[in-house]
Every structure is written in structure tokens, then in C-alpha cells.
Amino acid sequence: MEGAASAQALSRIGLAGLAVMGQNLALNIAEKGFPISVYNRTTSKVDETLDRAQREGQLPLIGQYNPRDFVLSIQRPRSVIILVKAGAPVDQTIAALSEHMEPGDTIIDGGNEWYENTERRITEANSKGLLYLGMGVSGGEEGARYGPSMMPGGSHEAYTNIRDILEKVAAQVEDGPCVTYIGEGGSGNFVKMVHNGIEYGDMQLISEAYDVLKNAGGLSNSELADIFAEWNRGELESFLVEITADIFNVKDELTGNGELVDKILDKTGMKGTGKWTVQQAAELSIAAPTIAASLDSRYMSGLKDEREEASEIFKKEGLKEEISSDINGSSVDKKRLIDDVRQALYASKICSYAQGMNLLKAKSGEKGWNLNLGEMARIWKGGCIIRAVFLDRIKKAYQRNPNLANLMVDPEFAREMVQRQAAWRRVVGLAVQKGISVPGMSASLQYFDTYRRSRLPANLVQAQRDYFGAHTYERIDLEGAYHTEWSKLARNARV
């Protein structure tokens, strides 16, 4: 039957790689009325997808069982999305498909790929006359099926070939679909990588809010569920806050006792995009302390056995895991703490997004990508993991001033930071007092405090560098570079 279907009419687009993300994206495309051919090396996955297409509304999806039939079943100029594991599997899939493709056809890699790999593949594709897009896709399995946020970078011509499909398939928000042409080269992958770095920061900050409310405020899971649900109706409205409220409500079905969240091992996994973000920030000399703190926290969580031993060692020395004896919140004004934590979370979040945006701006300058930061915020408003109402304010900040030095100095955000800083300091101070680690909130606060000061103690660091290494320094009152014989002058001063 598939053969007959493909003989009748060619598909509008193809998708290779039918793990859950691939299946869901293919079904989303078919459901939006675009006939699609699908292919997977393991043929059972093709059958599974065909079965779902029938069950989910007899969608116009055609299964193919070898690369040649798959490519030839798509109308010219062909566009093929590949959704396989990043790295070597992408190269293998491209090799298998491009053998049957013709100049003018397009390959779209929808995986979480390192942007330099995409740039290499663009060059290789061009040598065969093929067009190439590296497209970040965010929103997880649900997003892929019902509307993700997509970040395509590379050939503009390739983008225009499938723009109608992408705009229908993407999540829809009031100011358009959550997809736009990002820029040339590996810009789409880079933007998705930074999105994931911001996501690391967001998740860490939320987990710290939970830790403080639970361990300094003595709040139960059901109280936490209510608080996060309430927060999700205000300025913190976002996908991550919404799912956090849900998580606290889920009972442990295996034992029938309590909530599942308390039974989960406190050891975080990661795929690498957060690490890449922090490495890129370091390469570009961009401070990203909140994102770096979230990455460090994942590394520290991995030391579960060491942490348990350390906890015992310090207990023997008389130090409880939580330093304060009134840990259950007996001396804490719960209502005020909840409101303080809400404000601290919001202010910390602004810093995390500011760091991500600065990273995008710096890379865009280095590579000549000409990224539109307001548009990045707009396409993240729906479909993706960091989707939040707050992104609309970021979009507007960059519309007001496309050359904004830092999100924190946008007049609206600056006012909000100032309004929230007292609550923010109270939360970080309380956590420090009680021995609850809040690396993300602290990093955000230090970032804010460093950025807003017109004079830092860096003058002393410069003096030290000049003392031991003759690195020279500049003065605040005179032009030029200076070097001082510090040890000689210090000796004379002692005499």
C-alpha cells in the first residue's frame, strides 16, 4: 500500500530518524496537512510510526524502508529532516541519504548538535550542491508533537523552502509562530545551546527556591504545590514553574507512601549542552555565573557517596547537615519567606537570561550572524522548555533598545531588580545562615552587585599583577600604561 501511495503523489517533506522526537515531529507535520515520508534504519520504527499515523487521525504519512525509496518519494526540491543522535550518526545518515539527493535539495539536522559540526557539514553539503540547516528543536516530546520552538540556522534558501511547514508546525503565540530564520552557519545550534544553558539556570534556581522553602520554611509538598501553582498565575508564569507544581502533587504509587519527589535520588544527569554554554562563555570572556553555578551543582550532585560520607564526618565534628537548629521554620515568618523567595527567584532569573543574551550577542558579533535578540526571546515564548510570560518583556526590552548592553539595565528590568533586591538579599542571607546552599541565587546576586558598582577592587588585582609580573596598569587620572617597582618602594616605605 505504501508503494501505491508514493506512486500516486510525492510527499512534501521527509523525516529520517524515528525515535520518539522524530515520530512526534513527523506526526505533527502530517497533522498540519503536509504529506510526509518517513524512514528509519530499524524498520520496526517505520511500522510503529505508520500505525500511530492511522490511530491518530489517518494522517498523510508514508513509510519507506530504504534510503533510495525514501529520498525519491519526496517532491523536488527535496527537504529532509534528520533526527538522530548528534555526532557520528548524523554523518552516517547524511552519507546514506545524500547519495540519492540532487543539487538544490536540503538536509535539516534537528538534533542538539555542536555548532561547529554543523558548519563543517554546511561546507560538505555545499560541495555537492546541497543546502543545509542546523535546527535546534525545543519542547521535548510534547513540543515535537503539538508545537515546538524551532531555531533553524544555515542556508536562507533552505529555510524559505520549508518556511510554510515550520510556521504551521511550530508553537503559536499571539505574535506569531515560535520559529524564525536565526542566521547563517551554526547559529541555530548555538542559539539552542544557549537556550539549554538558560534552562540549566532556571531549573537550578527553582530547585534552590524549593530547598529554602522546604528546609528553612518547613513547608510540606502539598503547600509547595499550591505555592508554585499560585506563582504560575503571576510574573513567574512558565512551563518549568507549572510542571514543578505538578511534581509536588504526584504520589508515590510504588510504595503508596507520600509523594514521589522525596523518593528520587538527588543525582542529576546531563547531555552536555550546559557544559558547552559555560565553555563558550569562557572562550568569549562573557561572565555567566548563574549558568556556571547550575552546572557545578550538577557535578556536585553526582558526588552522592562522597556527600553522604562528608555529612557523617561533619556530624561527628558537631555540625548538623543544616546548621540552624530551628530548621523546621519555627522562627521563620512563612508568609514573608514565600513572598521573598518569589522575588528572589524572579530577580535571579533576570540575571540568568541576561547572561545567556550577552553570550548570544558576543558570538553573533564574532561570527557576523547578526542575531536579533528580541526575536530569540519571542520564539522562546511558546513550545520550548524555558517558555515564560517573562520572555515577552525581554522581547520588548530589545525592541526598545536593540543595542542594550545588559538586560538588567533596561529601565523596566532595572526597576524590578531594585524593587526585589531587599527580598533577594534576605533569602540568600537566610540560606547562608542556615547552611542551605543557594549557588544559583548567590551567583545571580553577585552578578548584579558586581555589574552595578562603578568601582571594583580590581585595582588591587592589577597592582598585584604588576608587582609579581610587571603586567603594567592604567591609572584613573592619567593616560597610558604604568609599571611600578613595588618591592623597592615598599622597602623604602618600611624604613
383 is in an annotated binding site: no
Task: Assess contact for 283 and 266: CB atoms under 8 A.
Answer: no
18 is in an annotated binding site: yes
Q: What separation in angstroms does the CA of 322 have from each of 224, 327, 437?
A: 20, 7, 10
| C-alpha cell at position 347 | 530577580
19 is in an annotated binding site: yes
Total count of residues recorded for the chain: 495
Label residues 287-317 b or e (16+ Cβ within 10 Å = b). Answer: bbbbbbbbbbbbeebeeeeeeeeeeeeeeee
Which H or E run contains 334? Answer: helix 334-367
Q: Specify the residue for cell string 543546502.
A: 131
Distance CA 217, CA 335 (A): 9
168 is in an annotated binding site: no
Phi, psi of 79 (to 5 degrees): -125, 125
Residues 6+ apart with CB under 8 A from 140: 385
112 is in an annotated binding site: yes
261 is in an annotated binding site: no
290 is in an annotated binding site: no
Tell me which residues are annotated as active site: 192, 199
Which H or E run contains 293? Answer: helix 289-301
84 is in an annotated binding site: yes
216 is in an annotated binding site: no
C-alpha dihedral, 242 to 245 to 248 to 252, nearest 10°: -50
Q: What separation in angstroms does the CA of 191 have from each of 122, 137, 182, 261?
A: 17, 10, 8, 32
20 is in an annotated binding site: yes
40 is in an annotated binding site: yes
Query: Max CA-CA distance within the chain?
Result: 100
86 is in an annotated binding site: yes
| C-alpha cell at position 81 | 529532516
14 is in an annotated binding site: no
78 is in an annotated binding site: no
470 is in an annotated binding site: no
Task: Assess contact for 424 and 346: CB atoms under 8 A.
Answer: no
Separation of CA 257 from chain center: 34
Residues 6+ apart with CB under 8 A from 457: none
42 is in an annotated binding site: yes
163 is in an annotated binding site: no
Q: What separation in angstroms does the CA of 325 have from each of 188, 286, 308, 322, 373?
A: 50, 40, 20, 8, 47
Residues 6+ apart with CB under 8 A from 74: 10, 11, 12, 13, 14, 37, 80
Residues making up the binding site: 17-22, 40-42, 84-86, 112, 138-140, 195-196, 200, 271, 298, 465, 471
Residues making up the binding site for substrate: 112, 138-140, 195-196, 200, 271, 298, 465, 471
Residues making up the binding site for NADP(+): 17-22, 40-42, 84-86, 112
